Amino acid sequence: MSQDSKRPLYVIAPAYNEAEGIDSFVMALGKVLSDEASLGKLAPTIIIVDDGSKDQTSAKVAEAARMLPQGVRVVTLRLSRNFGHQAALQAGLDYAVQFADVQSYYITLDADFEHPPTLIPEIVRQLDLGIHHVQMVRHENLQRKPFKRLSSWLFYWIFDKLSQTVIPVGAADFRGFSNQVAVQFVKLPEHDRFHRGLFHWLGFPTIEIRYESPLRRRGKTKFSISRMLELAVSGLTSFSERPLTIMLGIITTSAFAVCLLYLGWEVFRYFHGIRFVVGWPTMIFFISFWGGANAASQLVVGVYLTRMFSEIKARPVYICQEISSFGTAGGGRDKGGVSE
C-alpha cells in the first residue's frame, strides 16, 4: 500500500484541442473522485495528457485543477507535438506506473464525456472484486453519425474475422485495470500500439460493462477519416497476419485457375477448329489481371513493411515536454522530461 495506506487510483485522459470542454471534464472527474476519496480508501490522481494541443487545453486544466476539492491531485503531461490518441494514453500510463504500487488501479477514458466519468465508481467496485480488467462497452448511440456507426461496426467485424484476439464490438479505450495489468502492458515492446487489442491480448480476467454513450459535449471529433483508417490498419495488421496470407492465397489460386481455364480454352479451340484473330483479348485480360493482382499484393506487403520499418527505427512513442502537478499530493511544478 502507499504511504498513507490509501489505494492509488490513476485516471488517465488524453486531450487534443479540448479547451472548450476540458475544464468541465476535470471538474466532473474531480467531483466523482473526491466522493470516492471521501470514502477514505482511494488516493486519486487525474492525469491529463495534452497531446500537442494548439489551443488553451493545458491552461484550462490548470484553472480547473486549482478549484478541485482537497484530496484529488491533477498532473498534466504536455507532449511536444501531436503524437495521437494511443501514444498519449501510453504517456499517461508510463508516468503513472513509475509512482504506482501493487495496489494501484488505473482508468483510461476520453476527455469529451463520451466515456462518462460517473461510471468510475462502478469500475472501481469491479476492480475491488478482484477483476483485473474492466472493459467498458458502448451500446450503439443512434444519434451518432451513421458513417461513424457503420465504420466502427465494419472495423470490429473485420477484426473478428481476421484476428484471434477477441475484442467486443463497441469496446473503446474506456477501461479500468489492476497494477499487474499495467505493469505487463508498459513492458510490451511494440511501438505502434493498438491498446484495444493489446489489453485483450494480455489475457487477464476481464469483464465487460455495457453503458449508454452520450454524444461528445463540446468541440468536435479529432479523428478524420484518414486517421480512423490509419488506426484501423494499425489495429488489423498488428493483430493479424491474415491479410498477407489471404492476399497471397487469392493471387496464387486465381493465377492457377486462370492458367487452367486458358489451357482448356486452347484445347477446345484446337479440337473445334475455331479460328479468329487470337491473342488480343487474352493478352489484355492477362495483363490487367496480373497488373491488378500484383498491385494489390504489393500494397498489403507494403503495409507490413512500413510497420516493420517503423518498429526497427524504434523511436520513442512520444516526447513529453513538460509535467505540471496540482493538488494535495504533489503541488508546484515539476521539471519537464523526455520519456519513451
Q: How near is the Cβ of 194 to ligand UDP at its closest, in Å?
A: 14
| 114 scored as a contact of Mg ion (CB under 5 A) | yes
Task: Confirm if 32 and 120 have CB atoms less than 8 A apart.
Answer: yes
User: Which amino acid would we find at residue 309?
Assistant: F
| 23 scored as a contact of ligand UDP (CB under 6 A) | no
The residue behind cell 484445347 is 267
List of residues 6+ apart from 150 with CB closer than 8 A: none
Residues touching ligand UDP: how many (CB under 6 A)? Answer: 17
Q: At 339, is the secondary structure helix, strand, or coil?
A: coil
Q: How near is the Cβ of 269 to ligand UDP at its closest, in Å?
A: 57
Which of 95, 222, 240, 325 contacts ligand UDP by CB under 6 A? 222
Task: State which residue, 184 or 339, has the beta carbon closest to ligand UDP.
Answer: 339
| 192 scored as a contact of Mg ion (CB under 5 A) | no
**Residue 216 to residues 50, 193, 195, Cα–Cα distance (Å):** 18, 24, 21
Task: State which residue, 114 or 192, has the beta carbon closest to ligand UDP.
Answer: 114
Fill in the per-residue mask, 130 to 169: x = in contact with ligand UDP (CB under 6 A), - = not in contact.
----------------------------------------
| 36 scored as a contact of Mg ion (CB under 5 A) | no
Helices 195-202 and 179-187, packing angle to 10 deg: 120
Query: Nearest CA to 94 among 202, 209, 12?
Result: 12
The cell numbers describing 337, all together, are: 522530461
Which of 16, 106, 185, 318 contacts ligand UDP by CB under 6 A? 16
| 173 scored as a contact of Mg ion (CB under 5 A) | no
d(CA 25, CA 50): 14
> What residues between 43 and 62 interact with ligand UDP by CB under 6 A?
51
What sign does the CA torsion over 200, 204, 208, 214 have? negative
d(CA 71, CA 327): 7
Helices (H), the chain: 22-38, 57-66, 85-99, 120-128, 146-162, 179-187, 195-202, 225-239, 242-272, 280-313
Task: State which residue, 33 or 79, has the beta carbon closest to ligand UDP.
Answer: 79
Q: Which does 170 bind (CB under 5 to 8 A by kind): ligand UDP, Mg ion, none?
A: none
d(CA 51, CA 283): 54
Task: State which residue, 23 or 114, has the beta carbon closest to Mg ion.
Answer: 114
| 112 scored as a contact of Mg ion (CB under 5 A) | yes
Fill in the per-residue mask, 95 to 124: x = in contact with ligand UDP (CB under 6 A), - = not in contact.
---------------xxx-x----------
Q: Which does 193 bind (CB under 5 to 8 A by kind): Mg ion, ligand UDP, none?
A: none
Buried b (16+ CB within 10 A) or exposed e, 77-106: bbbeebbbbbbbbbbbbbbbbeebeeebbb
Task: State which residue, 125 or 218, has the beta carbon closest to ligand UDP.
Answer: 218
| 18 scored as a contact of Mg ion (CB under 5 A) | no
Task: Confirm if 34 and 71 have CB atoms less than 8 A apart.
Answer: yes
Helix (H) or strand (E) holding 11: strand 7-15
Q: Which does 192 bind (CB under 5 to 8 A by kind): Mg ion, ligand UDP, none?
A: none
Task: Confirm if 92 and 108 have CB atoms less than 8 A apart.
Answer: yes
* Residue 62: other Cβ atoms inside 10 A: 18
| 94 scored as a contact of ligand UDP (CB under 6 A) | no
Task: State which residue, 73 or 85, has the beta carbon closest to ligand UDP.
Answer: 85
> What residues between 197 and 236 interact with Mg ion by CB under 5 A?
216
Task: State which residue, 7 or 83, has the beta carbon closest to ligand UDP.
Answer: 83
Residues forming contacts to ligand UDP in the complex (CB under 6 A) are: 14-16, 18, 51, 82, 84-85, 88, 110-112, 114, 216, 221-223
Residues forming contacts to Mg ion in the complex (CB under 5 A) are: 110, 112, 114, 216
